[in-house]
Protein backbone atom coordinates (compact mmCIF):
# COMPACT_ATOMS: atom_id res chain seq x y z
CA UNK A 1 0.00 0.00 0.00
CA UNK A 2 1.40 3.39 -1.03
CA UNK A 3 0.99 5.97 1.73
CA UNK A 4 0.92 9.66 0.91
CA UNK A 5 3.88 11.82 1.89
CA UNK A 6 2.46 13.37 5.06
CA UNK A 7 1.21 10.03 6.37
CA UNK A 8 4.64 8.52 5.88
CA UNK A 9 6.34 11.46 7.56
CA UNK A 10 4.01 11.28 10.56
CA UNK A 11 4.18 7.50 10.96
CA UNK A 12 7.87 6.97 10.30
CA UNK A 13 9.09 9.83 12.48
CA UNK A 14 6.75 9.12 15.40
CA UNK A 15 9.45 7.49 17.51
CA UNK A 16 12.10 10.20 17.15
CA UNK A 17 9.43 12.89 17.50
CA UNK A 18 8.29 11.41 20.82
CA UNK A 19 11.90 11.06 21.99
CA UNK A 20 12.60 14.75 21.38
CA UNK A 21 9.30 15.85 22.93
CA UNK A 22 9.88 13.77 26.06
CA UNK A 23 13.46 14.98 26.43
CA UNK A 24 12.47 18.66 26.27
CA UNK A 25 9.37 18.26 28.48
CA UNK A 26 8.16 21.75 27.59
CA UNK A 27 4.95 21.52 29.59
CA UNK A 28 6.66 20.92 32.94
CA UNK A 29 5.96 23.15 35.92
CA UNK A 30 9.42 23.16 37.56
CA UNK A 31 11.08 25.21 34.84
CA UNK A 32 13.56 27.89 36.00
CA UNK A 33 13.45 31.07 33.94
CA UNK A 34 17.17 30.82 33.14
CA UNK A 35 16.64 27.32 31.75
CA UNK A 36 13.85 28.66 29.53
CA UNK A 37 16.19 31.37 28.24
CA UNK A 38 18.88 28.75 27.60
CA UNK A 39 16.38 26.66 25.63
CA UNK A 40 15.41 29.64 23.47
CA UNK A 41 19.10 30.26 22.81
CA UNK A 42 19.41 26.62 21.79
CA UNK A 43 16.48 26.93 19.42
CA UNK A 44 17.91 30.13 17.94
CA UNK A 45 21.27 28.41 17.46
CA UNK A 46 19.56 25.78 15.33
CA UNK A 47 16.70 27.68 13.69
CA UNK A 48 18.69 30.69 12.41
CA UNK A 49 21.31 28.69 10.44
CA UNK A 50 18.68 26.15 9.37
CA UNK A 51 16.50 28.89 7.89
CA UNK A 52 19.44 30.40 6.01
CA UNK A 53 20.43 26.99 4.62
CA UNK A 54 16.85 26.19 3.65
CA UNK A 55 16.39 29.57 1.94
CA UNK A 56 19.58 29.02 -0.06
CA UNK A 57 18.29 25.66 -1.30
CA UNK A 58 14.65 26.63 -1.87
CA UNK A 59 13.45 26.62 -5.50
CA UNK A 60 12.64 30.10 -6.77
CA UNK A 61 8.90 29.46 -7.07
CA UNK A 62 8.75 28.57 -3.35
CA UNK A 63 10.80 31.46 -1.95
CA UNK A 64 7.78 33.55 -0.93
CA UNK A 65 6.15 30.47 0.61
CA UNK A 66 9.25 29.93 2.75
CA UNK A 67 10.05 33.53 3.67
CA UNK A 68 6.69 33.93 5.40
CA UNK A 69 7.57 31.03 7.68
CA UNK A 70 10.88 32.21 9.15
CA UNK A 71 10.86 32.28 12.95
CA UNK A 72 14.44 33.12 14.00
CA UNK A 73 13.46 36.78 14.42
CA UNK A 74 10.78 35.73 16.92
CA UNK A 75 13.41 33.94 18.97
CA UNK A 76 15.68 36.98 18.81
CA UNK A 77 12.89 39.24 20.09
CA UNK A 78 12.04 36.77 22.88
CA UNK A 79 15.66 36.65 23.99
CA UNK A 80 15.97 40.45 23.91
CA UNK A 81 12.88 40.87 26.05
CA UNK A 82 13.75 38.15 28.56
CA UNK A 83 17.38 39.19 29.04
CA UNK A 84 17.19 42.94 28.50
CA UNK A 85 19.97 42.58 25.91
CA UNK A 86 18.87 43.54 22.39
CA UNK A 87 21.92 41.79 20.95
CA UNK A 88 21.62 38.56 22.93
CA UNK A 89 20.85 36.47 19.83
CA UNK A 90 24.09 37.63 18.19
CA UNK A 91 26.16 35.93 20.89
CA UNK A 92 24.38 32.57 20.62
CA UNK A 93 26.43 29.58 19.44
CA UNK A 94 25.03 28.24 16.18
CA UNK A 95 24.98 24.69 14.91
CA UNK A 96 27.26 23.93 11.96
CA UNK A 97 26.16 20.43 10.97
CA UNK A 98 22.69 20.65 9.43
CA UNK A 99 20.65 18.03 7.56
CA UNK A 100 21.22 17.88 3.83
CA UNK A 101 18.55 19.73 1.84
CA UNK A 102 19.91 19.09 -1.65
CA UNK A 103 16.63 17.79 -3.08
CA UNK A 104 13.02 18.92 -2.87
CA UNK A 105 12.26 15.77 -0.89
CA UNK A 106 14.93 16.40 1.73
CA UNK A 107 13.95 20.05 1.86
CA UNK A 108 10.33 19.32 2.73
CA UNK A 109 11.25 16.42 5.02
CA UNK A 110 13.37 18.70 7.17
CA UNK A 111 10.83 21.50 6.94
CA UNK A 112 8.14 19.11 8.15
CA UNK A 113 9.90 19.01 11.52
CA UNK A 114 10.36 22.75 11.79
CA UNK A 115 6.82 23.59 10.69
CA UNK A 116 5.27 20.85 12.79
CA UNK A 117 6.72 22.39 15.93
CA UNK A 118 4.29 25.28 15.51
CA UNK A 119 1.41 22.91 16.26
CA UNK A 120 2.79 22.10 19.72
CA UNK A 121 3.45 25.78 20.26
CA UNK A 122 -0.28 26.39 20.60
CA UNK A 123 -0.09 24.65 23.99
CA UNK A 124 3.42 25.68 25.01
CA UNK A 125 2.95 29.44 24.45
CA UNK A 126 0.19 29.96 27.05
CA UNK A 127 1.96 27.57 29.43
CA UNK A 128 5.19 29.58 29.49
CA UNK A 129 3.24 32.86 29.57
CA UNK A 130 1.57 31.72 32.79
CA UNK A 131 4.76 30.21 34.19
CA UNK A 132 6.92 33.30 33.69
CA UNK A 133 4.32 36.06 33.85
CA UNK A 134 4.59 37.01 30.18
CA UNK A 135 2.19 38.93 27.98
CA UNK A 136 1.07 36.97 24.96
CA UNK A 137 3.63 37.39 22.17
CA UNK A 138 6.28 38.91 24.44
CA UNK A 139 8.84 36.35 25.55
CA UNK A 140 6.85 33.49 24.02
CA UNK A 141 6.54 34.79 20.45
CA UNK A 142 8.45 31.82 19.01
CA UNK A 143 6.01 29.34 20.51
CA UNK A 144 3.04 31.48 19.52
CA UNK A 145 4.35 31.21 15.96
CA UNK A 146 1.49 31.87 13.57
CA UNK A 147 -1.07 32.40 16.32
CA UNK A 148 -4.62 32.08 15.00
CA UNK A 149 -3.23 31.20 11.56
CA UNK A 150 -1.48 28.04 12.81
CA UNK A 151 -4.07 25.64 11.41
CA UNK A 152 -4.28 27.27 8.00
CA UNK A 153 -0.48 27.60 7.74
CA UNK A 154 -0.05 23.90 8.54
CA UNK A 155 -2.65 22.92 5.94
CA UNK A 156 -0.91 25.11 3.37
CA UNK A 157 2.41 23.42 4.20
CA UNK A 158 0.87 19.97 3.80
CA UNK A 159 -0.65 20.89 0.44
CA UNK A 160 2.56 22.50 -0.84
CA UNK A 161 4.71 19.56 0.27
CA UNK A 162 2.35 17.04 -1.34
CA UNK A 163 2.25 19.03 -4.58
CA UNK A 164 6.03 19.47 -4.89
CA UNK A 165 7.64 16.25 -3.64
CA UNK A 166 7.51 13.42 -6.18
CA UNK A 167 6.80 9.89 -4.85
CA UNK A 168 10.30 8.72 -5.76
CA UNK A 169 11.67 11.20 -3.19
CA UNK A 170 9.41 10.17 -0.29
CA UNK A 171 12.21 8.05 1.20
CA UNK A 172 14.56 11.06 1.09
CA UNK A 173 11.92 13.21 2.79
CA UNK A 174 11.41 10.72 5.60
CA UNK A 175 15.15 10.31 6.11
CA UNK A 176 15.68 14.10 6.25
CA UNK A 177 12.89 14.46 8.81
CA UNK A 178 14.43 11.77 11.02
CA UNK A 179 17.86 13.38 10.74
CA UNK A 180 16.35 16.76 11.66
CA UNK A 181 14.51 15.38 14.70
CA UNK A 182 17.62 13.54 15.89
CA UNK A 183 19.85 16.55 15.22
CA UNK A 184 17.58 18.79 17.28
CA UNK A 185 17.52 16.20 20.04
CA UNK A 186 21.30 16.12 20.28
CA UNK A 187 21.72 19.89 19.90
CA UNK A 188 19.07 20.91 22.43
CA UNK A 189 20.13 18.14 24.79
CA UNK A 190 23.61 19.63 24.89
CA UNK A 191 22.13 23.07 25.56
CA UNK A 192 20.06 21.76 28.48
CA UNK A 193 23.04 19.94 29.94
CA UNK A 194 25.15 23.09 29.77
CA UNK A 195 22.38 25.09 31.48
CA UNK A 196 22.23 22.59 34.34
CA UNK A 197 18.97 20.94 33.29
CA UNK A 198 18.52 17.24 32.72
CA UNK A 199 17.74 16.01 29.22
Q: What is the pLDDT of residues 150-192, one digit of tens each?
A: 999 999 999 999 999 999 999 999 999 999 999 999 999 876 6
pTM: 0.94
Closest listed residue to residue 4, CA positions, set 174, 151, 120: 174
Q: Give domain status of residue 138, yes or no.
A: yes
Confidence of residue 127 (pLDDT cuts 50, 70, 90): very high
Contact at 8 Å (CB) between 83 and 37?
yes
* CA pair distance 88, 82, nearest whole angstrom: 10
Length of the chain: 199
Contacts 24+ apart (CB under 8 A), 21-28: 21/120, 23/185, 23/188, 23/189, 23/192, 23/199, 24/188, 24/192, 26/120, 26/124, 26/127, 26/128, 27/123, 27/124, 27/127
Burial of 164 (0-12, 13-18, 19+ CB in 10 A): middle
**pLDDT exceeds cutoff 50 at 121:** yes
The whole domain housing 86 covers 5-25+32-194
User: Count of domains in the chain?
Assistant: 1
Domain assignment present for residue 131? The answer is: yes
- Helix, strand, coil content of the chain in percent (nearest 5): 75, 0, 25
Would residue 151 count as lying in a domain? Answer: yes
CATH of the domain at 171: 1.20.910.10
- Residue 199 resides in a domain: no
pLDDT of 113 > 80? The answer is: yes
Tens digits of residue pLDDT in 77-97: 999 999 999 999 999 999 999
The pLDDT of residue 194 is: 63
Amino acid sequence: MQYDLLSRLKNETAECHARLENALDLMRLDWPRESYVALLEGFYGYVAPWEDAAAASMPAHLCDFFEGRRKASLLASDLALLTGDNNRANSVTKIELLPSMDSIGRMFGSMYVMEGSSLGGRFIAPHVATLFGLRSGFGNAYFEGYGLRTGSMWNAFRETASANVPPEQYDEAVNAAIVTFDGLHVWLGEVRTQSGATA
